[in-house]
A = this chain, B = another copy of it.
Amino acid sequence: MNAFNDLADFSTEEIASLIRLATHLDSNPEPEALRGKVLALLFLSPSLRTLASFQAAMTRLGGGAFVISPDMSIHGIETRPGIVMDGAAAEHIREAVPVIASYGDAIGIRAFAERKNLASDIAETEFNALTDLIDTPYINMESALNHPCQSLADWKTMDDLKIPQHGGKFVLSWAYHPKALPLAVPAATVQMAAMRGMEVTVLRPDGFALPDAVMDKAKDAAASSGGSVVETDERTEAMEGAHVIYAKSWSSTRHYGDRVIDEKARSELRHWCVDDPWFDNAQDDCRFMHCLPVRRGVVVSDRVLDGPRSVVIHEARNRMLAQMAVLHQMLGGRS
């Protein structure tokens, strides 16, 4: 495996194999698998789960990781091509990325969307500009429109909980948040649930539809897997018989990159906070999923998040296990 960039690059059998390996490594530690191997971790955006889970994953497999983030250690980093660097930035990404990659057997990169131009973000212009600089195997730790490690962990979580693939109903719901957030998690999540063969409903208010490119890609995946993908702004309809509600806020796509209009539009949507009544017509054991961090009382009520439906900690722990499987395959673990 030379890149773990998009779940869509893998067959469902390959994904199942990764999940089996993740489960196996949970109960059968392999502290010799990656002896002396190094994972470089480059964060151009903040992190908690990803930062912690990748370091823990490498330690559990007998290797190690190092972390570079602008706050910690970079002298101010320039990303624009062709620029005369006589300002604050002392280093260009064109040197920084290949150098950091050269110290690792693999590199994980996180770079959030610029959120200025939707077409550019959908094309992953910025992330691809980084990975084009290197030959080292790499892992997407969240880009403009993807977060494959989160999706692999979420898929495993649903397997663990025996949530049905075919016939399982998966609701990806927009939720209120005071800030305009990236599309990475919703785009990756709808793709994941579609690939898993589920009946996927994207529930979102007017103005917050996922981009056509994202929906079309998910529908293609559903066509292959025997699932389906629809969207609606009707909550009761969406939640009918749902096995899972996956909540996430994201920025307006109609006014993408316009923070003023986006803020105004979302300010009227504070009632999009997942709470007990949302589950009235769902499956009795309908689960609540979220990638974290989550704002309590804003995205979801305390009683849902603290109640038995919530599997958010389970998802978060699966990040580590899913990434152990990816690293094991990518770095040739001696199993």
Residues of A within 8 A of B (CB): 29-32, 35-38, 40, 46-49, 51-53, 55-56, 58-66, 68-69, 71-75, 78, 82-87, 90-92, 94-96, 98-100, 102-104, 178, 292-298, 302, 305-306, 312-313, 316-317, 320
Contacts and interface: CB of A to CB of B under 8 A. Distances in A.
A181 to B, nearest CB: 10
A103 B56 CA distance: 6
Contacts of A296: 78, 83-85, 92, 94
A59 B38 contact: yes
A294 B96 CA distance: 10
Contacts of A32: 35
Instruction: Please provide the 9 A-B residue pairs with the shortest distance between their CB atoms, ordered closest to farther.
Output: A31-B36, A59-B64, A91-B293, A84-B297, A85-B295, A55-B66, A56-B103, A102-B317, A31-B35
A302 B60 CA distance: 42
Contacts of A64: 55-56, 58-59, 64
B52 A66 contact: yes
Contacts of A87: 178
Contact of A320 (B91, B95, B103): B103
Number of chain copies forming the complex = 3
Nearest to A80: B296
Given A75-B48, A91-B293, A86 B298 contact: yes
A155 B195 CA distance: 52
Contact of A91 (B60, B73, B292, B317): B292
A98 B55 CA distance: 17
Given A36-B31, A296-B84, A99 B49 contact: yes
Given A38-B56, A91-B293, A48 B84 contact: no
Contact of A293 (B65, B69, B86, B95): B95
Nearest to A50: B73
A65 B56 CA distance: 7
A24 to B, nearest CB: 14
Contacts of A84: 296-298
A246 to B, nearest CB: 16
A53 B103 CA distance: 6
In the complex, which of the residues A56, A92, A298, A306 has the most CB atoms of chain B within 10 Å of its own CB atom?
Answer: A56
Contacts of A61: 36
Contact of A99 (B48, B96, B295): B48
B316 A102 contact: yes
A200 to B, nearest CB: 25
Nearest to A64: B59
16 contacts: A31-B36, A31-B37, A38-B56, A40-B56, A48-B73, A52-B99, A58-B64, A59-B63, A59-B66, A69-B72, A84-B296, A85-B295, A86-B178, A91-B292, A92-B296, A99-B313
* Of A32, A68, A306, most B-chain CB atoms within 10 Å: A68
Contacts of A31: 35-37
A266 to B, nearest CB: 11
A36 B84 CA distance: 46
B60 A36 contact: yes
